Amino acid sequence: MEKQLMKGNEAIAEAAIAAGCRLFFGYPITPQNQIPEYMSKRMPKLGGCFLQAESEVAAINMVYGAAGAGARVMTSSSSPGISLKQEGISYIAGAELPAVIVNIVRGGPGLGGIQPAQSDYFQSTKGGGHGDYRLIVLAPASVQEAADLTYSAFDLADKYRIPVLILGDGMIGQMMEPVSLPTPKEPTSANKPWATNGAKGRERTIVNSLYIDPVELEQVNLRLQSRYDTIQKNEVLCEEYLMDDAEIMLAAYGTTARIVKKAISELRKKGIKAGLMRPITLWPFPAEQMSKYADKVKAVLTVEMSLGQMVEDVRLAINGKVPVEFYGRTGGMVPTWKEIAAKVENMCGGAK
């Protein structure tokens, strides 16, 4: 498809439409307002439904209802709004419903700021909501990737009956880059025999996450866990950049990874063999992919726009084999390639 210049938020919205999503429920919050605004213009023209809900809480529950009825449906928000959605997300996970949720992360905690951050990694991958559940978490590093991952999110959600979170940040949401949009497909609610769409000629269906008998609830959880194990085996996505001869591994995701790539190219000019492991799925985390380099590199530096969240998963993957250090900026501050390169040089005891 022809490339067009699009804002990240709008590319995400258009990609959702291309994936057959015809229902969007959301609420305004900076820096993702272009998503509901874009949807409010596009959905009515497609015979779809855009509804501005009364809150992020209401929006996630509208998603639950529509997803339970068998539709492809999406909501979007930013950090504080995603906090509001957590109960609903837990319910969606517990009721085994497919849904796509977009978080365009801003500085936190609390009302925080409106500048980009990566401080929702824990919230996204380690729960956020209550209970033993997982979300597939996809972290784009470009507007193109944001579109591609949003498009595939709906297929993943339907395939595994799991909510999928697109974890962007204010930069991805706001910047404009050339995008080649995915091929549009028509919405279909075929193949969802579990959906509540009117019990005509079939047994009635129930969408529910309450299992008051602990024997039953344990079985439900074990069943979900086995599904998560399958996802872990099959759906990991990770970019390996200049890792073949790397002596220093950098780990970063999203827009931070792009800044890290610039730092790497400058470091290489100075003879420092740095490489990047860029998780694209934050859950399932590419632990196996990372750990295979643990024997080959001398050290690891994790770079995040936070005070260190993904670094814990990196440490688990490296498993103590080599030192794992951290560099981060937070509160909406964006690290420069110079700061990152300086940190690496420092770790190496100066340029070689």
Chain positions contacting another protein, by CB under 8 A: 23, 25, 49, 51, 53-55, 57-59, 61-71, 73, 87-88, 91, 95, 196-201, 204-210
Name the one residue in this structure whose structure tokens are 């969408």.
Answer: 207
Decide whether 63 or 297 has the Cβ nearer to another protein: 63
User: Min. distance of Cβ 41 from another protein in angstroms?
Assistant: 17
Enter the tokens of residue 142.
Answer: 């470009």
Residues 6+ apart with CB under 8 A from 223: none
- Considering the complex, state which of residue 89 and residue 138 has its C-beta at the smaller distance from another protein: 89
State the minimum distance, in angstroms, from the CB of residue 147 to another protein: 24
Q: Measured from the CB of residue 198, what is the shortest distance to another protein in angstroms?
A: 5
Q: 141, exposed or middle or buried, with CB in 10 Å at 0-12, 13-18, 19+?
A: buried
> How many other C-beta atoms can be found within 10 angstroms of the C-beta atom of residue 189?
13
In the bound state with another protein, the residue whose beta carbon lies nearer, of 96 and 345, is 96
Neighbours of 310 (CB within 10 A): 26
CA max distance for the chain = 74
Residue closer to another protein, measured from CB, 53 or 237? 53
Residue 218: enclosing H or E segment and its boundaries? helix 214-234
C-alpha pair distances (Å), 177 with each of 184, 198, 217: 20, 43, 46
Nearer to another protein, 4 or 55 (CB): 55
- Distance of closest approach, residue 134 Cβ to another protein, in angstroms: 19
Q: Least distance to another protein from the beta carbon of 53, Å?
A: 7
Residue 37: which residues within 8 A CB-CB, separation 6 or more? Answer: none
Nearer to another protein, 99 or 246 (CB): 99
Cα 30 to Cα 173: distance, rounded to the nearest angstrom: 10
Pick 192 or 261: Cβ nearer another protein: 192
Residue 253: DSSP 8-state: -
Among residues 75 and 118, whose Cβ is nearest to another protein? 75
**172 exposure class (CB count in 10 Å sphere: 0-12, 13-18, 19+):** buried
Distances (CA, A) of 94 to 80, 130, 131, 297: 22, 10, 9, 40
